[in-house]
Chain A
Amino acid sequence: MEYFIQQSINGLTLGSIYGLIAIGYTMVYGIIGMINFAHGDVFMLGAFMAMIVFLALTTFIGGVPVVLALLLMMLVAMLLTGLWSWTIERLAYRPLRGSFRLAPLITAIGMSIALSNFVQVTQGPRNKPIPPLVNGGVTIYGTGITIAYKQMVIVIVTAILLAAFWYLVNRTTLGRAQRSCEQDRKMAALLGIDVDKTISMTFVMGAMLAAVAGTLYLMFYGVISFTDGFTPGVKAFTAAVLGGIGSLPGAVVGGLLIGLIEALWSAYFSIDYKDVAAFSILAIVLIFLPSGILGRPEVEKV
């Protein structure tokens, strides 16, 4: 039982990261119906930004308190990754709006290839290790279960962000505009909502969450490389689909589920096949629930 709980905790930590990335996929899909394949690489870029900020802090300023360093890393990464995402949307996706469905998908795949190779060219192909930021953990009294402090940081940051995000989507003008664009873009435009701006903001918000996920990923694993965008990106997308693409709570639930599946499968069966397990479960869930766990069933109009 202890082992099970321990592994579940590990899974939930990983799942939080997936959930944060998955929100970006699901929001963009909800609003313009497009799979943003470059999102995984935006996440990787965010992690790289955080890494460079960390190095800049240690090189130019020296000893900075860990909390402050983490905060700065997240803030700068969020800001600049958001800017990247805004530019990507402006250059590669907006000209194709209203074009046929596969066109933005192809530019997104092209963007994903270009981004990862851009990072490879500018930062070099090697792994980038950073010294551990957060050490230690607590053991729950009377049991063998330990929770590392960095796991706590991940869960707490995710929870805070999700709360802020929930507020943004449900209680602000921007969130209202977003939800209206999701339901009917043409009608929203007729009612005076700047649809282009709303879509841009959606991309920026998704990228900001991905940047935080990237920072947390960097803190947790202590290493990042230019290829690291793909696998977490695909997993997060799987999470978004599993939860029902277009549904925000679905993305988080899907992320946590994928994290749990991965951790428990590697704990009890085989670590080599953990990704196979995640993908197989996705296929099985979709066969029985074709629109995901929390997704709205697709209504076909004739």
Chain B
Amino acid sequence: MADIQSSGQDSVYAKAAKEAVFAGIIAFGLFFLVVGFRTDQNINNELVLVQRWGLLAIFVAVAAIGRFIFAAFITPSREQAKLAKSKAPAAAKVDRRSLKAAVSRFGLALLFIYPFVVILILALIQFAVTGQWSFQSGVQGSLKYVDNFGIQILIYVMLAWGLNIVVGLAGLLDLGYVAFYAVGAYSYALLSAHFGLSFWLLLPMAGIFAAMWGIVLGFPVLRLRGDYLAIVTLAFGEIIRLVLINWTVVTKGTFGISGIAKATLFGIPFTPGPTGFAAMFGLPNSGVYYKIFLYYLILFLALLTAWVTIRLRRMPIGRAWEALREDEIACRSLGINTTTTKLTAFATGAMFGGFAGSFFAARQGFVSPESFVFLESAIILAIVVLGGMGSLIGIAIAAAVMIGGTELLRELEFLKLIFGNDFTPELYRMLLFGLAMIVVMVWKPRGFVGNREPSAFLHERKMISSEFTKEGHG
């Protein structure tokens, strides 16, 4: 018995070794040119080759060793786990709804106090290091965390929740969502620059403009399905961007529009002057208040999106969206007007994109077509799908992981100590982002939260397993 076991083990290792050699050969082929050689410009601006055989060897070795570990250890242990799971009696199903509710309530509470938690922690660290209780330094230091993590992540959460209405609920694949974001941002930038209108007036207007563009785009594409819809929405997003670049009279082209007016709190500006927020409340001057204000603003906007989505799902129009996603023909047979249903989905999703856009313009104080490239649409769509389409919590988790994770890479200065001073972790940000997208998708094809709660049910609410939910064809 033991003998068979050990010989089985040996053959596993032999097989793994074979696969490792194979992986090494493949990796050599892949990286031979692109890693083995580097092209550099010399003084005459001609390209010269620099050879990097050491790096190539490292790449090949990593591929081979990785493959060996995977084949020799990870795959057998995973198979055993699967075997054990199928032998074990079916465990009683745990009702995880209460747990989920608790988690989301806790998360929400944390979001509300997040800026103060950051300030407190930083002040405590300051206290521990210097022995001086200085609240102000905590306030100053929190700027980075509130801005780069809090606001940045929440913008993507909001955008992804907005896109979720189109993709997750109505099942229409939209690859040009960033166009509506751009419409919102530019309407705020232009109208506030030319007419001096305030943020609070322009926020709803930007949403309305974006919704109108959503309808304008929605009309021609109503007849299209699946990937044709995807390419036309992508084309639309590119058209908007190209117009923004080339219509220089209005948009100033690639230079962008700068000096956009900031948002105000009930008419109180966040300026250092005597009428400003800091002077009004007797606080020392600092840029932090505006950031914290923006944080709460985007939190409010994001929660508004979530609230509207939840409420709409219970209304006839929301049910019609989900029915449309599951089966368009059945929908039409039951008398649902698919035209208006699709158009409202486009318009509602676009409206939230417009809100987010005007917020973005107010936050940056600067907009340029650079910010509205296809990559942004792809990132937002990736967040929606990685989160588990239709699940608001899953999407928020995905946004936090993907955006927060890549933002975190900016902070990894200590890596310079390991890899030398030339090492810039930021360079690897998008590379790792792309790889993370692949890994997460292969690991969890249905996203972080794949299960769905039905919005309409008979007798009792049952969870729908991800295998039974559709993603729509349009």
Contacts and interface: CB of A to CB of B under 8 A. Distances in A.
Interface stretch (A105-113, A134-142, A147-155, A165-173): A105-113
B223 A283 contact: no
A245 interface: yes
Contact of B471 (A37, A102, A276, A280): A102
A174 B227 CA distance: 27
B386 interface: yes
B382 A109 contact: yes
Interface size class of B (residues with CB under 8 A): 35 or more
Contacts of B223: 287, 290
A52 B49 contact: yes
Interface of A is mostly: helix
B445 interface: yes
Contact of A109 (B48, B225, B228, B381): B381
A123 interface: yes
B312 interface: no
A297 to B, nearest CB: 11
A121 B329 contact: no
Interface string A49-70: 1011101100100000000000
Interface stretch (A9-17, A124-132, A177-185, A191-199): A124-132
Nearest to A127: B41
A110 B243 contact: no
A36 to B, nearest CB: 11
A103 B234 contact: no
Nearest to B427: A121
A33 B467 CA distance: 19
Contact of A59 (B48, B329, B389): B48
Interface stretch (B28-36, B75-83, B314-322, B454-462): B28-36
Interface string B23-60: 00010011011110111110001111100000000000
B239 interface: yes
A48 B386 CA distance: 31
A50 B232 CA distance: 32
Interface string B429-455: 011011111100110011000000000
B431 A106 contact: no
Interface in B329-385: 329, 374-375, 378, 381-382, 385
A238 B235 contact: yes
A59 to B, nearest CB: 5
A83 B30 contact: yes
Interface string A97-121: 0011111011101111111011111
A111 to B, nearest CB: 6
A282 B232 contact: yes
Interface string A256-295: 0000000000000010110110011011001100110000
B47 A128 contact: yes
Interface in B383-436: 385-386, 389, 427-428, 430-431, 433-436
Interface residues of A, number: 71
Contact of B227 (A35, A99, A123, A283): A35
A87 interface: yes
A52 B434 contact: no
A283 B220 contact: yes
A80 B227 contact: no
B329 A302 contact: yes
Contact of A129 (B47, B173, B224, B232): B47
Contact of B378 (A95, A109, A115): A109
Contacts of B29: 80, 83
Contacts of A106: 381-382, 385-386, 437, 441
Nearest to A37: B378
Contacts of A115: 434
20 contacts: A52-B39, A53-B33, A83-B29, A84-B30, A96-B445, A100-B446, A103-B445, A103-B446, A106-B441, A107-B437, A110-B433, A114-B434, A120-B431, A121-B427, A121-B431, A131-B46, A241-B227, A282-B232, A286-B221, A286-B232
Interface of A: 29, 35, 37, 45, 48-49, 51-53, 55-56, 59, 76, 80, 83-84, 87, 91-92, 95-96, 99-103, 105-107, 109-115, 117-124, 126, 128-131, 230, 234, 237-238, 241, 245, 270, 272-273, 275-276, 279-280, 282-283, 286-287, 290-291, 298, 300, 302
Given A126-B41, A128-B39, 7 more contacts: A51-B39, A84-B30, A106-B382, A112-B434, A113-B433, A117-B430, A279-B235
